[in-house]
């Protein structure tokens, strides 16, 4: 027998003020079956006719689904902020503490649509500050950690590597110490760049590390410490290696947002060498979906590659952006090849796909979504270009949760 699934109404508890309420016996039956582990939320939805998220809220109120309190380190950055919004939007029982030091790429404007959500809290802090990180974990009863916090721009690492070593190795060590001590599951978000370059084939999770610039070397160092803690201390840590991520709210020092913004301002874009270096790309929502999936299905001590198979050369990317923004090749500025610029990255994602995860976004859709967002959201990126964003970061941030 088929049941209609009612649209979600957060202001209408189950069966109240509903002109056609489902019999309470069906809700009671579904509640009992779900509590016994006999059915899923989706199956409960079919039994009762109520929206799955409405049922999740009901089950949480009954104590059947416990609240999950996730500490997202680096949650004011591009990938971390998207993950926060994605998880809060999908999971009513999820509460998130965003722990971010607000470096130059941290931007609380990324989170405007959730800053009033009672399930969301921002705490300004550095992952290298182990004492304050532990206070935050204890204060909010954290039961899961996802670390996006990292210095991540290759050119900056070439000019000065010290902050990369401090954050990407020292900061990871702080989290590992606390994950071990408090037995908190922890996902370390890393990069395919730790493997170096590959001319043919794809990197598996077992491929040796051969980083070729200070950024990727620092990420490799953090990943190896994760492995050591997993083996030595049985720390419940999982490491992910992702391909390049693209999407809204990405800081314009990165290739795609930087090119889009420059072209919107009728400025030339820089092509290193002949532009033939190849990267694999994933849309930021797919990356968030993958991390969510690994939280649910991943095994502690394992490493998972996150990729799509969408391999494109830098020149292909550039030409596609020229086309979408209706610019010609006179906007290209060829410069010498960058130091430590790997030829090609490509990931074998068999391990993750065998668990049941697949990307949803094709490459062209990912680029179109991204281009359209930057066209329509100058309010976000213009202050970064003018320096207003940098000035704002220098101002003290008075968090109600900071004990200064």
Instruction: Please say if 126 is a catalytic residue.
Output: no
- Sign of the dihedral defined by the CA atoms of residues 354, 343, 195, 237, in that order: negative
List the catalytic residue out of 186, 215, 283, 374. Answer: 215
Residue 208: its pLDDT value, please?
A: 97
Token pair 């009671």: residue: 28
Cα distance between residue 260 and residue 370, in whole Å: 9
Instruction: Please say if 193 is a catalytic residue.
Output: yes
Kindly write down the DSSP assignment for every residue of 372-390, as one continuous string.
HHHHH-HHHHHHHHHTHHH
User: Which token pair is 345?
Assistant: 């990255």
Q: Which CATH number fits domain 68-246+282-311+341-364: 1.10.1840.10, 3.40.50.1460, 3.40.50.720, 2.40.40.20?
A: 3.40.50.720
Q: Is the pLDDT reported for residue 194 higher than 90?
A: yes
Lowest mean per-residue pLDDT among 22-36, 98-112, 148-162, 172-186:
22-36
Where helices occur in 93-193 by DSSP H, the ranges are 130-140, 154-159, 162-165, 172-182
* β-strand partners of 147: 73, 188
Neighbours of 192 (CB within 10 A): 25
Please give the span between the terminal C-alpha atoms of the chain, in angstroms, as a whole number. Answer: 60
In tens, the pLDDT along 293-345 reads 999 999 999 999 999 999 999 999 999 999 999 999 999 999 998 777 889 99
Q: How confident is the model at residue 174 (pLDDT cuts 50, 70, 90)?
A: very high
Residue 180: CA count within 13 A, CB half-sphere = 19
What residues contact residue 265 under an 8 Å CB cut-off, 6+ apart? none
Spatial CA neighbour of 97 closest among 172, 152, 147: 147
User: Which token pair is 187?
Assistant: 């996902």
Looking at per-residue pLDDT, the higher value among 233 and 339 belongs to 233
Q: How confident is the model at residue 396 (pLDDT cuts 50, 70, 90)?
A: low
Looking at per-residue pLDDT, the higher value among 242 and 103 belongs to 242
Residue 390: its pLDDT value, please?
A: 65
At 189, phi and psi to the nearest 5?
Answer: -85, 120
Q: Between helices 284-297 and 78-90, what is the axis angle to 10°?
A: 60
3-state secondary structure of 59: helix
At 237, phi and psi to the nearest 5?
Answer: -115, 140
| Average pLDDT for 13-32 | 64
Evaluate whether 223 touches 274 at the Cβ level (below 8 Å): no
Cα distance between residue 168 and residue 165, in whole Å: 6
Residue 219: its pLDDT value, please?
A: 96
Residue 15: its pLDDT value, please?
A: 46
In tens, the pLDDT along 86-95 reads 999 999 889 9
List the catalytic residue out of 193, 285, 292, 342. Answer: 193
Cα distance between residue 168 and residue 224, in whole Å: 11
Q: Is the pLDDT reported for residue 124 higher than 80?
A: yes
Residue 401: its pLDDT value, please?
A: 36
List the catalytic residue out of 126, 192, 223, 342. Answer: 192
């Amino acid at each position: 027998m088929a049941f209609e699934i009612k649209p979600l109404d957060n202001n209408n508890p189950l069966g109240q003020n509903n002109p056609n309420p489902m019999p309470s016996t069906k809700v009671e039956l579904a509640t009992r079956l779900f509590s016994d582990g006999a059915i899923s939320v989706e199956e409960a939805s079919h039994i009762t006719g109520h929206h799955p998220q409405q049922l999740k809220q009901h089950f949480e109120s009954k104590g059947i689904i416990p609240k999950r309190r996730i500490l997202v380190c680096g949650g004011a950055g591009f990938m971390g902020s998207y993950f926060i919004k994605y998880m809060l939007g999908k999971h009513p029982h999820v509460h998130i503490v965003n722990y971010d030091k607000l470096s130059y790429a941290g931007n609380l404007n990324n989170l405007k649509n959730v800053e009033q959500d009672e399930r969301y809290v921002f705490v300004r802090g550095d992952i290298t500050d182990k004492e304050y990180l532990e206070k935050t974990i204890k204060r909010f009863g954290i039961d899961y950690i996802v670390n996006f916090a990292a210095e991540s721009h290759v050119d900056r690492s070439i000019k000065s590597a010290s902050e990369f070593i401090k954050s990407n190795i020292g900061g990871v060590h702080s989290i590992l110490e606390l994950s071990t001590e408090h037995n908190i599951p922890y996902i370390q978000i890393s990069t395919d760049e730790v493997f170096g370059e590959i001319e043919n084939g794809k990197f598996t999770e077992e491929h040796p590390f051969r980083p070729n610039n200070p950024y990727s070397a620092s990420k490799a160092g953090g990943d190896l410490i994760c492995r050591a803690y997993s083996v030595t201390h049985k720390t419940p840590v999982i490491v992910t290696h992702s391909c390049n991520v693209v999407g809204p709210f990405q800081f314009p020092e990165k290739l795609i947002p930087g090119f889009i913004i420059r072209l919107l301002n009728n400025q030339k874009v820089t092509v290193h060498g002949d532009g033939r270096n190849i990267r694999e790309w994933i849309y930021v929502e797919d990356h968030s979906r993958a991390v969510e999936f690994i939280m649910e299905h991943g095994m502690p001590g394992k490493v998972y590659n996150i990729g799509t198979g969408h391999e494109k050369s830098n020149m292909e990317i550039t030409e596609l952006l020229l086309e979408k923004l209706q610019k010609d090749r006179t906007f290209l500025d060829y410069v010498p090849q960058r130091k430590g610029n790997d030829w090609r990255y490509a990931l074998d994602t068999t391990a993750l796909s065998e668990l049941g995860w697949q990307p949803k976004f094709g490459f062209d859709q990912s680029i179109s979504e991204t281009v359209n967002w930057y066209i329509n959201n100058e309010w976000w990126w213009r202050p970064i270009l003018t320096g207003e964003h940098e000035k704002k970061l220098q101002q003290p941030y008075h968090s109600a949760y900071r004990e200064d």
